[in-house]
Amino acid sequence: MARKKIVLIGGGQIGGIQALLCAQKQLGDVVVLDIPDAEGMVKGKTLDIAESTAIGGYDCNLSGTSNYADIAGADVVIVTAGLPRKPGMTRDDLLDVNVKIITNVAQNVKKYAPGAFCVIVTNPLDSMVYAFRKVTGFPKNMVCGMAGILDTSRFRSFIAMELNVSVVDVAATVMGGHGPTMVPLPRLCTVGGIPLIELMSQEKIDAISKRTREAGTEIVKLLGNGSAFFSPAASSIVMAESFLLDKKRVLACAAYLEGEYGINGYYLGVPIVIGAGGVEKIVEVKLTDDEKALLNVSLDAVKVAVKDVDSRI
């Protein structure tokens, strides 16, 4: 059976790490596409990774390009094309410039890779994944956004650090938009099957939830130039892997809702099942009234950005 084809549109900070992870996991052959001015960068990054494959024993062909014809036949397309935040910026501050980039990318993916499972990473995430699907017209099960896996990973990592336990044994989920209104769900978090609320004070839980909501901004401030890239890269490859290997992972991702959670016509972070059929199922969690209220606050924030996007595409 021929190897799968993974296309990474945007070969910057996140795209480069994504390419390395795809090679190391031997998920398939990798094509990294960027703008003509950055073609040398993506050719250099992919060649550099290719030269490392002998060390790790990874059989994977990698190439860089600025020619969309090279993405034809992609099984998976992951989109990080767009500007990242600078200190002091909100994710929504990126909307103006990134909606134009996502529109251009979507038009080309529609033309050259219409059957691909598409994972959108570009911020502001919830409105960019909405824009991508609107421009491509792809079925909703083949377009989703990466955010909840990252936010959940941050939440899990902070809990593991605080309790001095393995991250492996911390199960959790974060729902809602990818921004300050995201909804960590401590009630659903377990550590080795034990409810978190039996192991940690409410004060500590609240502090970790707050840090999770602000984790992206914390890294933007520390880096001073750009935003997180290791964890977003790892998070998006989990989604590609679940699709390519039909793993049926249950993952928090931005999925298009048509009635689930009482929400209709928006992308929002919810638990989904990703398999060979793309977004195979949206898992409806029974939320408390307080949790529902927080989810609706998050949805309201997403609606503002989507209204702005709708007026431009």
Active centre residues (catalytic)? 178
Q: Which residue has the tokens 């393995």?
A: 166
Single out the segment in contact with ligand TXD by CB under 6 A; choices: 182-190, 195-203, 228-236, 304-312: 228-236
Tell me which residue has its CB nearest to ligand TXD: 12
Q: Which of 65, 103, 123, 217 binds ligand TXD (CB under 6 A)?
A: 123
Q: Which two tokens stand for residue 148?
A: 């909840």
Assess 10 for contact with ligand TXD (CB under 6 A). Answer: yes
Which residues within the stretch 152-211 sit at the binding site for ligand TXD (CB under 6 A)? 178
- Distances in Å between the Cα of 161 and the Cα atoms of 121, 165, 168, 253, 287 are 26, 7, 12, 24, 27
* Furthest CA-CA distance within the chain: 55
Assess 85 for contact with ligand TXD (CB under 6 A). Answer: yes
Amino acid at 134: K
- E-strand ranges in 83-189 read 117-120, 143-145, 170-171, 174-175, 183-184
Single out the segment in contact with ligand TXD by CB under 6 A; choices: 55-63, 136-144, 225-233, 303-311: 225-233
Count the Cβ atoms, other than its own, within 10 Å of residue 312: 11
Q: Which of 95, 144, 146, 263 binds ligand TXD (CB under 6 A)?
A: 146
Quote the CA–CA distance of 166 and 221 in Å, as a whole number.
Answer: 27
Assess 125 for contact with ligand TXD (CB under 6 A). Answer: yes
Assess 122 for contact with ligand TXD (CB under 6 A). Answer: yes
Assess 217 for contact with ligand TXD (CB under 6 A). Answer: no
Assess 251 for contact with ligand TXD (CB under 6 A). Answer: no
Quote the CA–CA distance of 161 and 156 in Å, as a whole number.
Answer: 9
Q: Which residue has the tokens 């969309």?
A: 68
Compare residues 177 and 200 and give the one whose CB is closer to ligand TXD. 177
Compare residues 228 and 274 and give the one whose CB is closer to ligand TXD. 228
Cα 27 from chain centroid (whole Å): 17
Q: Which of 6, 19, 65, 82 binds ligand TXD (CB under 6 A)?
A: 82
- E-strand ranges in the chain read 5-9, 29-33, 62-65, 76-79, 117-120, 143-145, 170-171, 174-175, 183-184, 190-191, 194-195, 249-258, 264-275, 278-282
Contact indicator for 34, 46 with CB cutoff of 8 Å: no
Single out the segment in contact with ligand TXD by CB under 6 A; choices: 152-160, 221-229, 278-286, 302-310: 221-229
Single out the segment in contact with ligand TXD by CB under 6 A; choices: 74-82, 159-167, 192-200, 287-295: 74-82
- Distances in Å between the Cα of 144 and the Cα atoms of 43, 125, 159 are 27, 10, 27
Q: Which of 71, 76, 105, 302 binds ligand TXD (CB under 6 A)?
A: 105
Single out the segment in contact with ligand TXD by CB under 6 A; choices: 11-19, 70-78, 163-171, 189-197: 11-19
Assess 43 for contact with ligand TXD (CB under 6 A). Answer: no
Assess 31 for contact with ligand TXD (CB under 6 A). Answer: no
- Which residues sit at the interface with ligand TXD, rule CB under 6 A? 9-15, 33-35, 38, 80-85, 94, 98, 101, 104-105, 121-123, 125, 146-147, 150, 178, 226-229, 232
